[in-house]
Copies of this chain bind each other. A is one copy, B any other.
Amino acid sequence: MTGPMTTTDLLRKYTNIRQHSVEICAPLEIEDYVVQPIVDVSPPKWHLGHTTWFFETFILQPNVPGYQVFDSQYNFVFNSYYETIGARVIRTDRGNLSRPSVADVYKYREYVDQQMKTFLESDHMTEKVESLLELGLNHEQQHQELLMTDIKYILGHNPLFPAYNREKSSLKIPSENTQMIHFDEGVYEIGYHGEGFCFDNELGRHKVYLNEFEIADQLVSNAEYLQFIEAGGYSDFRFWHAEGWEWVQQNKAKSPLYWHSIDMQWMHYTLNGLTELDLNTPVCHINFFEASAFAAWKGMRLPTEAEWEVASEHFNWGKRWEWTNSAYLPYPGFKKEAGAVGEYNGKFMVNQMVLRGASEATPAGHSRNTYRNFFQTSLQWQFTGIRLAK
């Protein structure tokens, strides 16, 4: 960010980002907004309400004198995990709520957007509020990606396999071979520096000592992953972590999420519907266990997040969230902020792995090579992929 934003800039940015959430949901039927097929997936109407609740709770309520909340029950319904802010619907119950209706959730968005507009135009912005506004907008962008992953899950697990849209996506792996890029050992620096927005978990630019390493300039393709499957990768425990092998057996896992073997033919569900498996696109929807097992089968490994960040200027990224072999832990000097906003990142820093890059579902303007995404090791429903290292 170069220089302070004007009121007009802020308002335009707010309006654009908020509008994008609505656009993502445009192809949905009302029924699609409501269901929650697994605990990790939230109903789309919940995402729309929750992101709105963030602005109402953290910006309007504390800063607009006499602000009337749209509905006093919504704090209970749309709070996600902020223990500081009181009781909340537990995550597994979100799909049981037929009300508020989708129409009411859109009214809620309009009400809060109108109030935000008035507030932003009133020129009472302070540095602290602007920082919360940035956080709220980045929060909404994170939920835009979750909206895409959750919509895909909802439609892709329906026996009718409805398409989300009909335009073909064109993500391709070039046909030439993957090259390994070499880096010398030594002290490097990682972590965010600059003036723009970043999350607290990226802060604390700091030195790391890396051994010599190599990293691939391409993502692993469906064709390569299919070789792993056909070589018996899912039935040979030697490639898997003990916990990963348990996951394979309990889930009878045999392929990435959304792959279906139908009449001896590999199909996959995409946002365009159920289609023949596209061998040249980067493999997607694999969990950390699968990514690690594939790498072990190749005699390679996943990069650490420091290696990835150091190397990131030398390859294209942004098609898949790339699993690293780094656990999600605090950078040196990390401090949780006080209050509810401090619950954003720090409390998840255990038993999750870092993903780097971004995906085709990440909204424009919401990616950096210092961004630290993180998920539990068994989860497949994000747009995740594999880049090899050694």
Segment from A124-132, A175-183, A236-244, A272-280 that makes contact with B: A236-244
Complex interface: stretch among A139-147, A326-334, A380-388: A326-334
Q: Which of B31, B207, B209, B347 contacts A99 (CB 8 A)?
A: B31
Within 8 A of B (CB), among A5-32: 29-32
A83 CB within 8 Å of chain B: yes
Residues of A in contact with B, size category:
35 or more
Q: How far is the CA of A53 from the CA of B241 in the complex (A)?
A: 24
Residues of A within 8 A of B (CB): 29-37, 73, 76-77, 81, 83-84, 89, 93, 95-102, 154-155, 157-160, 162, 185, 187, 206-209, 211, 237-238, 240-245, 288-289, 292, 301, 325-327, 329-330, 332-333, 342, 347-351, 353, 377
In the A-B complex, list the 5 residue pairs whose CB atoms are closest, starting with the nearest. A327-B327, A37-B96, A31-B98, A211-B332, A209-B209
B242 touches A81 (CB 8 A): yes
Name A31's contact: one of B102, B211, B245 (CB within 8 Å).
B102
Q: Are B36 and A242 in contact (CB under 8 A)?
A: no
What are 19 A-B pairs with beta-carbon distances under 8 A? A29-B99, A29-B101, A30-B31, A30-B101, A31-B31, A37-B93, A76-B159, A95-B95, A95-B96, A98-B155, A99-B162, A238-B342, A243-B351, A288-B350, A301-B330, A325-B329, A325-B330, A327-B327, A351-B351
Which residues of chain B have C-beta atoms less than 8 A from A333's C-beta? 211
Q: A30-B31, A97-B35, A327-B327 are in contact. Are A209 and B211 (CB under 8 A)?
A: no
Among the listed B96, B98, B242, B350, which residue makes an inter-chain contact with A347, where contact means beta carbons less than 8 Å apart? B242
Q: How many copies does the complex hold?
A: 4
The distance in angstroms between the C-alpha atoms of A329 and B301, with both chains bound, is 12
Residues of chain B with a CB closer than 8 A to A160's CB: 73, 77, 99-100
A34 to B97, CA, bound (A): 10
A102 surroundings in chain B (CB, below 8 A): 30-31
Closest to A331 in B: B211
